[in-house]
Structure 1
């Protein structure tokens, strides 16, 4: 192990709100990078000594991890081994939701809540690489400025502006919305959708229970998805293996070409993990926080 990515799921698990799936390690950590030490029988794609990154269901805050071969990815061309730890969970979450579920394509409008987060900074670049118009919300000018640098077209300070009004006025609504907030944003997200739009909820920071206006959904022919990456099956339809294969085929070339790059806000020694978690909510933090196990 070289490094591990820090995700909000780690904080939720630490606080007792997000237990690991049955059979998964109860150690925190959903994405890592490092060098393969050994492979199991029948594994042909990987060998000891390969530099890789990997998606986990748990156990990433460690010196060694055990992971299914189908959840391992090569370090993308142009990315160093430490920085590669910022990719697996983040990339899998973004791609599976805005592309595989949301069907985002060129010419559409993508609205991202939390544009300055690890998920947000990655989603901005993916949306731009696919030819979409990108609108983001964030709570500070520093975060919005960074979102602009990454390619966001429309910047919305949620403390001052109504994202529904902005997105509706500029684009007639969003074709795809990637939401980390949950219940507190549900009604306004539906209002912000364009006809045929897709709302994907991946976080519940503003609650888990809300009323859904089915009449508005019916009128717009819209869809709402609530998804979870960690509890997907390892193999089969809608599995982690399916997502990882899509990343390697379609996203990894975009990273190699420099159209999508990992955004890292801080690198913290793993022994100081207690200092790393609060950075996710820091006004000064933009992008991913990494825990360094050892330098390569």
Structure 2
């Protein structure tokens, strides 16, 4: 084999290995180019603002979901956590913005503890443990709100979802800050390393003396707290609390973003930047379909195809 042929083979091998990692970014680039050419007013600042605002709650929830999936788990209750946080905002807003936010976060901590204890100490499968709160959590939120849509008029609270800082929505700033925090936790802390160790090989982590149960409980608490933040920000953005609608089926969008972003469902790895890219990709897909007057069923089928392709690529990568 000649030197040139050998180099060509090496280059193709590197390209084949690198394509799964960069696939989500390439897909985003292709969608942006398509929209620039075929979608009117796509490059306007108002459209960019709308896309980022709509993607921000999914990004926040997906960050927590990525941590849970990194431990080889799943959390189906994040939408219900958002609904519960939304239901508590009008009840405690009379005591001040800080009290309302703390009440919502406390609800997230409580649900995260329940999920974590059921998974880590009781030994339930994550999908079973979180499915119970997927149903019961939203039911509790509807009971708290009495099944009514409640308007929110506190301007200080509404600033979180509708205000600007340096001409960028505050909601986007908060999402970006949380991305940095989660990335730091995963890459630079002992907790992050333990999280990946538990997801990579839980029996080995236990034999090594790692506090596996504490790590699992902490991960589910973090996931629920992030969902609570997304819930209260959603209320702030739409200026009303509707427990039956806030966070509805967002768990599917979050799982999709995590999988498309390259985090394996088998655990042991968390791709934070890939998760953000996955959320942005799904938002671009939905926005493109809407702007071209395609029915919602087409959007759902497109999302299903993207998920299947992402899972297949991940499987092939693990096989290699």
Under TM normalisation by the shorter chain, which class is it?
Answer: under 0.3
Is the strand fraction higher in 1 or 2?
A: 1
Greater helix content: 2
Question: Which of structures 1 and 2 has the bigger CA Rg?
Answer: 2
TM-score under structure 2 length normalisation: 0.22
Give the TM-score normalised by structure 1. 0.24
Higher RCO, Cα 8 Å, sep 6+: 2
